[in-house]
Structure 1
């Protein structure tokens, strides 16, 4: 018998939608006869503790820890899976779902549960910043502020990619300060002045904005770093437009490079030792300096079996 599934569902979407998600998961798994335990998390502050508890259960029973939610929820649960060494599954329910889409996991919930039942285990690359896991990206500067403003706008106008885009435009056109940072990379130190430092660990996201060469190096032991040179508001709008059109790699005022390990210090902190960092869509504060690196040992992810190799299903018998 396959091991049990320990599923954590983030209830941030609202009661009615969460109830529909819960019943969908239960119906598909019950029909398949797969043992499972489902925990619905109402309070964001409880997510980490519940994830660690269920990760321990998954490890002890040769089961699978499963995250149902957006990239932030997936990050928290994946961190528990990495720490415990258990297998990990994903039911993507966010706005962008970069992690799930990268690994061909259906965004339709019932389809994702079905795919989980026939998945195979494959290792995937994990990034770290100060020992905090990130699956998609981690950043400092303007990007964390953009995410904070986006969450405020989503609560008022709803969750959609259009709202996210308009919110980003509003933030870029507002007032912000440039970062003055030192970067230690490959034994050399360089100084950068930039609006944001963005470190990516997701091939799909890099491909979509047009950073093809770096996208190919992700998942092959490398992370991708982007840091635009100081430009005015029109220059930032131009960068945003290039990214939306998938042509960011053509920008003349963009530092882009690959890395396996990098130490970042922010100059002019005036005694402050904590830096605001966005990790997979969630904003937190980490102790300076920031150390970005690729995790030694990877996340064991359940990925859908390609259609050509999926086991054939027996035809359903017609009712007499």
Structure 2
């Protein structure tokens, strides 16, 4: 489907997501579209359980009208809308309203509403990579084990104390200090099977996030790959030290971290192990059956975004240069 400058916008507007400006967002979108001569329809989501259905309805309307689907919300909302858009032939736009907004930031979409609207109404669509676990998409990251538990606890803290980076940090500290169990699983990577024991498996599809914590394989994402991180079994104080290293942009060179890049990865349970596992995708936690197959989606999203490398990514690369995929050594996983 080819978008034309006058094509309508179908905005999936998650009232339960992100900041406290939910009542102002709708009128601001309508005013900006009116000034630009663009028709828009707001599809409000009042309950989180109706988000997926609303996203599918937006895609249906956009296909009929030759329009663009727009996700207004945090990374979880954007993920759900992207799941509906992928493979539909529609373009997608983003109005980020979350706490971290990694997907928007890595693609140069401002977190401020006026700036995001300006991008939405003036820029063209660019193909961007999507990660998949089986048929489920992830735009930023997916994880098993401790990291998924951390996200689940973070959401509980946000419901009680509100959304902020300080709340997210407090939740992370509580999760780590409470203790954890390691996962035992079989990893199939590049035709080889390895039994591993790890507190968490983290798969990244967001180069900015990987660059900011200092993972040298971050550039692999620009070159069609995904980045894997696994922690060696460590105690809670070592985990806190790793959290501090990540905040300083030095996680990738820690001895307790195994980082690697790949295009396909399969995770299997050990013999007589559980048949399903808790998985976090872009901050949303769910149970999925094993085995799990991680890969780059065969088709990209056509995202309305500025062309070229985002300014924040240029700054991250200047602060901590990372090598290209071709010059990064292929790391072996410990047994």
Same structural fold, with TM-score higher than 0.5 when normalized by the shorter chain: yes
Select 2:293's aligned residue among 284, 291, 294.
Answer: 291
Question: What displacement does 1:250 show?
Answer: 1.5
1:160-198 Cα shifts (integer Å, max 9, x gaps): 111101110111111211101110010001111111000
> Retained in 1: the 8 A contact 2:17–2:97?
no
For structure 1, the 5+ residue unaligned runs are 307-320
Distance 1:218 1:166 in 2: 30
Distance 1:202 1:14 in 2: 20
> Retained in 2: the 8 A contact 1:115–1:305?
no
- Higher mean alpha-carbon deviation, 261-270 vs 240-249, is at 261-270
Which position in structure 1 is the counterpart of 2:323?
none
Which position in structure 2 is the counterpart of 1:69?
73
With the length of structure 2 as denominator, give the TM-score of the two structures. Answer: 0.88
Matched, 1:201 2:205: yes
Matched, 1:217 2:220: yes
Question: What displacement does 1:304 show?
Answer: 2.6
Select 1:249's aligned residue among 249, 252, 256.
Answer: 252
For structure 2, the 5+ residue unaligned runs are 309-335
> Retained in 1: the 8 A contact 2:8–2:65?
yes
Aligned structure 1 segments of 4 or more residues deviating by more than 6 angstroms: none
With the length of structure 1 as denominator, give the TM-score of the two structures. Answer: 0.92
Which position in structure 1 is the counterpart of 2:35?
31
Question: What displacement does 1:37 show?
Answer: 0.8
Residues 1:62 and 1:250: Cα distance change in structure 2 (over 3 Å): same
Matched, 1:127 2:166: no
Residues 1:136 and 1:269: Cα distance change in structure 2 (over 3 Å): farther
Please, what is the CA RMSD of the aligned residues? Answer: 1.5
Distance 1:14 1:119 in 2: 24
Which position in structure 2 is the counterpart of 1:18?
22
Which position in structure 2 is the counterpart of 1:93?
97
Query: How many residues align structurally?
Result: 304
Select 2:187's aligned residue among 172, 183, 189.
Answer: 183
Question: What displacement does 1:52 show?
Answer: 0.9
1:115-162 Cα shifts (integer Å, max 9, x gaps): 111111110000000110000000000011101111111112111111
